[in-house]
Amino acid sequence: MNGCCHDKECYECKENKKDKLEKILYLFSIIVFVLTFIVKLPQSLKIGMYIITILLAGYEIILDGIKNIFKLNFEEDTLMTIAVISACILGEFVEGCLVILLFGLGEIIESKAVDKSNESIKKIVDIKSKNANIVYNDEIKVVDVKEINVGDKILVKPGEMVPVDCRVVSGSSNIDTSRITGESKPMYVEEDSKLLSGEINLDGSLTCVAEKTFENSTASQIVDLVYEAQNNKGKTEEFITKFSKIYTPVVIVLAILIAIIPTLIGLDVKTWINRALVFLVASCPCSIVISVPLALFTCIGAISKKGMLIKGTKHIEDLSKAKIIAFDKTGTLTTGKMEIDKIETKEGYTKEEVLEYIYNLEKNSSHPIASSIQKKVEELNMKVNHMEVESYKEIAGCGIYGIIDKKDALFGNKKLLDKYGIKYENIDENKNYVVVDGKIIGSVTLKEEVRSGVDVLVKKLKDIGIEKAVILTGDNKKGAEKIASKIKVDLVYAGLLPNEKLEKINLLKEQGKTIFVGDGINDSPVLAASDFSISMGEGTEIANNVADSILISNNLNIVPDIIKISRKTMHILKTNITFSILVKILVLIAGIMGVAPIWLAVFADVGVTLITILNSIRSY
């Protein structure tokens, strides 16, 4: 198989061989060109060597250029081909060789630059496992990872990649999560720990239960997002693409006019054709056409290294202009893990009875409260009666309704009580109430854990120019203000229903470009409506689908760095475009006046392209 990945050579292997051949031919072309200056040769032989130089260094460019001329497809290859052929017809063989050699050098350096910008993306794409160890009746069978079904038992050996999202059922180990979250410190896992596909098991063997299929697992979704990001162009990138399609034929027409019009009034033909060639070469837009997408692509790679995936370059521009940032609370600023702080009951009911109603209502919910109830039941070592819940309904921002044992049961906040017309006195908005057949039988006070490091997050955001930080939450005011006091946001809007959150985000957008960070189903409308949206990596699937980006690392402290990277990228774009246009204008004017040789025109094209490419791939 000659070291290739298949019986037949794969596309990548063929491209590598082709790339090596082109570099060898390019090297020979330089040697042949240099020999024309070192060795004394007849002029006819020198001309032959010039033609060999042009063909070795640019046979593919010239072939593509000739094809494009007949197709009326005016790209940079077309411009270079016209310039080289015209130079040869005029007897300016040295100039023709310089054009093709410098252009070829630009192509090689551009290829290297693109490879460098692709490195971080390639590391992300290479996170999908091919095989998995499935445990069948205590026997281990190696299967294609696509054959894994939810509920299958799998074995992850030391050094192996986690094949699908799963839960540990036995064993313990340290896990390298860096390829998924960007976190370099290994994570210790044990029974009941969650693993994401693409993570690496470092030392112990782990028996796990698959919780997602291969197609729906984290690694596959990340790879899909990477390809989606490459295809979603921003406004600047789309403009440059459209601009080049119109610009190139206009340049060719102008070059023809520069060559023809002066000769009609008796001026020297050769002189004005030379000036037209200078104009043609210098005006090539490749410095802009190449550097703009390259800078944006490099930006996506740099951001992915930090632990965030952006779904396309079109979102970078909005992110760079952000002035306001709004956060959901539960599962975003907090870990989403809740604990029952206090249980109170009304006369005639025990804590166990109140908990039992809550447990049965919450058992079908994915809300963080559900896991806290489960944890409390386990702590009390309660034997819970599993009762059927009819007409189950989750009311976003309010709570849950269901019929248990033919009784209307509610568990939620003051809004839920108001919605169902429950009579009450001295309601505490910081509590969730249990109601059976219209009567409050108890209440629960919950406390939640603030994410590590968010206490300095707002200060970091203000330091980079974010003008306002806001909390938008469906939770009660007291709980929201408690979190707000810790992280020092500017405004808190609590007790919001999804439509009210949407109203608030639209008001904030009127004041400036707004980022929203959330994680839940009820955040989806706001994630879709904001100028730039971030979904927490451990958030709901619908939130991840709707958001413009996914914070795979779940580390909010990288958000200021992400904004800085996007701003730096947009600054690089503006610099590249301004520099390219200024140099080209100066050389074009000099060319028309006859004081710019063709090598200077080549610099205005290839040289400027190289400078802008190097500027685009600067380390972040």
Element (H, E) at 364: none
- Could you tell me if 309 and 225 are in contact, meaning their C-beta atoms sit under 8 angstroms apart? yes
- Could you tell me if 217 and 167 are in contact, meaning their C-beta atoms sit under 8 angstroms apart? no
Catalytic residue among 328, 523, 531, 561: 328
> Using H for helix, E for strand and C for coil, what is the string for 63-106?
HHHHHHHHHCCCCHHHHHHHHHHHHHHCCCHHHHHHHHHHHHHH
Element (H, E) at 451: none
Element (H, E) at 407: strand 407-412
Say if residue 385 is exposed, middle or buried (CB neighbours under 10 Å; 0-12, 13-18, 19+): exposed
Beta bridge partners of 134: 141, 154
- Could you tell me if 416 and 395 are in contact, meaning their C-beta atoms sit under 8 angstroms apart? yes
Neighbours of 584 (CB within 10 A): 20
> Pick from 320, 319, 300, 302: which is nearest to 310 by CA?
300
DSSP letters, 254-301, are: HHHHHHHHHHHTT--HHHHHHHHHHHHHHT-THHHHHHHHHHHHHHHH
Region for 440 from its dihedrals, namely left if φ exceeds 0, alpha if ψ lies in -120 to 50, beta otherwise: beta
Strands 139-144 and 468-472: unpaired
- Could you tell me if 281 and 601 are in contact, meaning their C-beta atoms sit under 8 angstroms apart? yes
Give yes or no: 328 in active site. yes
CA 515 to chain centre: 15
What single letter denotes the amino acid at residue 589? I
- Could you tell me if 96 and 50 are in contact, meaning their C-beta atoms sit under 8 angstroms apart? yes
Q: Please, where are the H alpha helices in 348-497?
A: 351-362, 368-379, 414-419, 457-463, 477-487
- Could you tell me if 165 and 226 are in contact, meaning their C-beta atoms sit under 8 angstroms apart? no
Q: Just list the catalytic residues.
A: 328
